[in-house]
Amino acid sequence: MGTLKLQLQLFDAHCHLQDGRIGQVASQLIQTAANVGVRRFVVNGTNEEDWELVKQMGETHSSVIPCFGLHPWFVGKCSSNWLTVLRGFFETVPSAAVGEIGLDKGCAQGKAVDFITQTQVFKQQLELARQLQRPASVHCVSAFADLQEILRSSSMCPLCLRSQRKN
């Protein structure tokens, strides 16, 4: 009787391979991970400045699922037409998801953003995900009750939740 060999297939559901600290070696990281069974990478955009890089990664690597969104740490630095720009990325990348979006009451030093602004931007991005029928990658830190309230009162789209910490 022959030996059954199972090949482990993994999926990285949340990464930032476009991050400037690793951007130069991202292709090598993708290849190394693929060699040990990682088949797909969800690469989450965080701000307008990195969306093009995320798009390029998706075009270069078939294993990359690009995501475009405003992370709560960066909503205070967005342009006045950010939502139009964001929508444009989804028009050109039909396989993209919405992310990384969310709420964060525990922002790191120097990254604090008004929570009302975070909430408004988060709701707009959730609505965009719903309209475009895209899944969303959601970041939530110390704002779980707020997140639950928003999700209960809005039309749902598929979500991947990370960094959830109860209040």
For residue 149, which phi and psi values (nearest 5 degrees)? -60, -45
Give the Å distances, CA to CA, from 5 to 1, 2, 8, 124, 141: 13, 9, 10, 47, 41
Give the burial string for 42-74 (b: 16+ CB within 10 Å, else e). bbbbbbbebbebbbebbeebebbbbbbbbbbbb
Task: Supply the pLDDT for residue 147.
Answer: 94
Quick one: 10-162 is in which CATH superfamily?
Metal-dependent hydrolases (3.20.20.140)
User: Does the structure show a pLDDT above 90 at 1?
Assistant: no
Q: Whole-angstrom Cα distance, residue 126 to residue 101?
A: 8
Name the pTM for this structure: 0.89
Predicted pLDDT at 49: 96
Indicate if the pLDDT at residue 6 is higher than 70. Answer: no
pLDDT tens digits for 84-108?
Answer: 999 999 999 999 999 999 999 987 6
